[in-house]
Structure 1
């Protein structure tokens, strides 16, 4: 489990491509590697990946074909920066909202407004997911727990504060980029339950 509070952006230093999977080598600072062991879970751009090896200043992750097909990890290049969060530990402060690291879909950036007063990103996503992306609700975007701004039938807005831009890779966002989306599980459960009950009662 994760909180959506990104701890660092870390560079992809190598990508070893094999049939059915890619092995990512991510450079991590000593503080982020402290206590990290093989088999541990780490969120990479919001995707829960298992540590397969630790060597010197880098950590290795295997990404299966299924994960590559549904996330933006397939588009990584050497030099890309990843949002990294270690898994939640007992007694940790939860500053965001609970994320599982299981990506539901991707959203494409359709607008970026960067001025002296604000940094806004508009994202386009398949309409079916907008049932769970609600104004002032929470959504996981590349592993960041963020509050949803204005919504339409297939878009939603993010208003990013300087601290978020400093700690994450969202300051590099540009039109056409794809971002990993994890919807809030509680919102999904409530919406699906209400829709099922209404359908059973013949209410549309």
Structure 2
């Protein structure tokens, strides 16, 4: 589990592509203080497993399913990525619950300056927009952000200078794609409500609510 609070920006050093998969080598600094083989690292919001560590570079395999749901397949040597290690049990929960399982890709359709803030409007398909609510949470390239406005086919977030300086959003341009992960709570609620029995008084009592 992650919080969406980015630790640092990494650099893709190499990409080895298979028929429907890829292996990334990513250089970083801060995350190596306790990084081990098998650990999870959110890379632009995508949960990747560390398969090899060499100096300040870690390696991770990407399956076809991940490539099809995210924008990692569009990256190249030298691309910058947001990095966050999995949350420690004794850590502070500074963002929101982020699983690192991307729901899909959105596209930046406008970038507007508002005094010290920058507004990003992002378009997404209906499967993603159904879970986007005003003042709710969403992870954009792994960054925990608050939804400031919602329209039928897009939503907007307002970015403070600190977030901009610490993430790859500062390098994004109109037309660029971003990985999106909806707030998992909304998906769980929908699943419960869609069960044949629904949420009834008997159901709650049987489950000790």
Q: TM-score, with normalisation over the residues of structure 2? A: 0.89
Note if 1:85 corresponds to 2:84: yes
2:102 alignment partner in structure 1: 103
Unaligned 5+ segments in structure 2 are: 200-209
**1:175 counterpart SS class:** coil
How far 1:19 sits from its partner (Å)? 2.3
Counterpart position of 1:38 = 37
Which runs of structure 2 are paired with 1:116-131 in the superposition (5 Å)? Answer: 116-131=115-130
Question: What is the CA-CA distance between 1:172 and the residue it aligns to?
Answer: 1.1
Query: 1: CA distance between counterparts of 2:42 and 2:27?
Result: 14
Task: After TM superposition, list the pairs within 5 Å mapping 1:1-204 onto structure 2.
Answer: 1-29=1-29, 31-114=30-113, 116-194=115-193
Alpha-carbon distance in structure 2 between the residues aligned to 1:114 and 1:172: 15
Q: Give the deviation of 1:32 after TM superposition.
A: 1.4
List runs of 5+ in structure 1 lacking aligned partners.
none
Shift of 1:116: 4.5
DSSP 3-state at the match of 1:157: strand
Work out the CA distance in 2 between the residues paired with 1:130 and 1:60: 33
Once the two structures are superposed, what CA deviation does each residue of 1:71-97 show, in whole Å capped at 9, x if it has no partner?
A: 010011111110000001111000000
Give the 3-state SS of the residue equivalent to 2:146 in structure 1. strand
* Segment of structure 1 superposing worse, 6-15 or 182-191: 182-191
TM superposition score normalised by structure 1: 0.91
Distance apart, 1:114 and its partner CA:
3.2
Q: 2:116·2:161 contact (CA, 8 Å) conserved in 1?
A: no
| C-alpha RMSD of the superposition | 1.9
In structure 1, distance between residues paired with 2:112 and 2:35: 38
Cα distance between partner residues in 1 of 2:104 and 2:150: 17
Answer yes or no: is the 8 Å Cα contact 1:132–1:191 preserved in 2. Answer: no
